Amino acid sequence: MSSMDSATIDREDDGIRLDRWFKRHRPGTPHALLARWARSGQLTLDGKKADVSDRIEAGQKLVMPTPPVEAVARPARKGRPLTDADIELAESMLIHRDASALVLNKLPGLATQGGTKTESHVDGLLDALKFDGPTRPKLVHRLDKDTSGALLIARTPRAAAYFAKSFSNRSARKTYWAIIVGVPDIAQGEIDLPLAKQPGSGGEKMHVDEKGLASKTRYRIIERAGNSAAWVELQPLTGRTHQLRVHMAAIGHPIVGDGKYGGKGAFLTGTISRKLHLHSRRLRIDHPDGGSIDVSAEVPDHFAASLDALGFDPLLGEVGIDDAPKGPAPKAAAKAAAKAHSKQIRKARRGERRGRTATSKPTDHVGKPKTAKTTRGPAKTGGRKPQKPAPQKPAPRKPR
């Protein structure tokens, strides 16, 4: 019979999975062996049988068989040496710092993580932001390379597990600003279009697909520049890849500068920058130590210049979807219109829609409903069916 070992769960490991604890503190223990210990009841937390997928809590007592090899500390992460310019860049993006979290205002054009032919990225700069923390900071969510704005970084393993859970259960609130081409017909509403990876794109591009994953985005028009462009606030209610970009393009109003999903129609003429105009403006999330984090990130130079060029008032963006004064409940007609708008978009994506009459006009772009002429009745009756005259009673007979 194998000898038994025990450990008390540290505060920094609060909330993580049990198998993750073993990777951190008993890296020589194979996962298959852990699973066997769990099935046989040899893994316990506070005296109760535990599973490798259980979430552990600080202060719990873990009892386990002695690992087959001596546990060693996790080796330090290796990366390229940071230059003075790297350190300066990392520190210049920092807009919030506490014992558990950092928030960066990520620059447009800077990738969040590395990849093929991507050497400069946020993850590679995190050693410059360790400060007095116990471990290297860790990413807990992502922003697209060309999207700017608030990006949350965890400073401890415990905070990373807590924040990851907040993003997965949608309790974290993210608010984006975007400048879009054209103006939606409805000033405030919800886009409900399922998304999936586009075949043949290598997973690098998404598209609307009825069989895809449920995807919802709330939007509000902040201000419009005639009919050419609008400044909008966006809230992703789900977290699909490129969700905001695909949704806005799908309703016929791509984000300015998003050639990937909007094609040539995603660019405005004049002095408006060709860079992507999508910015993570505000991040609200509960803090692992109590309270919450609520941070706003200033827009990058190209976005600010476009706001000015289009004549938008920066103060109008400060009242968001959640912060707007609470008025009376929306009318049933408004609700029905928003629902019909979303339904119309889904129908347009399926293909050509059947017209009610031969004179129906086809849609000119996705998201715009078709119009149809209604037939009218004869002019003399105003379109109504003529009424039959009432039967007359026979005249009474005279007596003889």
Residues annotated as catalytic are 144
Separation between Cα atoms, residue 273 and residue 99, nearest integer Å: 38
Rounded Cα distance, 126 and 133, in Å: 12
Residues 215 and 195: their CA atoms lie apart, in Å, by 6
How many C-alpha atoms does 224 have within 13 Å on its Cβ side?
14
Could you give phi then psi for residue 321, rounded to 5 degrees? -60, -45
Instruction: Give the Å distances, CA to CA, from 100 to 126, 168, 236.
Output: 14, 19, 25
- Under a CB-based contact definition with an 8 Å cutoff, are residues 114 and 124 in contact? yes
Phi/psi zone of residue 65: left (φ > 0), alpha (ψ -120 to 50 degrees), beta? beta
Q: How far apart are CA 367 and CA 265, in angstroms?
A: 15
Contacts of 137 (CB under 8 A, 6+ apart): 102, 126, 129, 130, 153, 154, 155
Report the 10 Å Cβ neighbour count for 184.
21
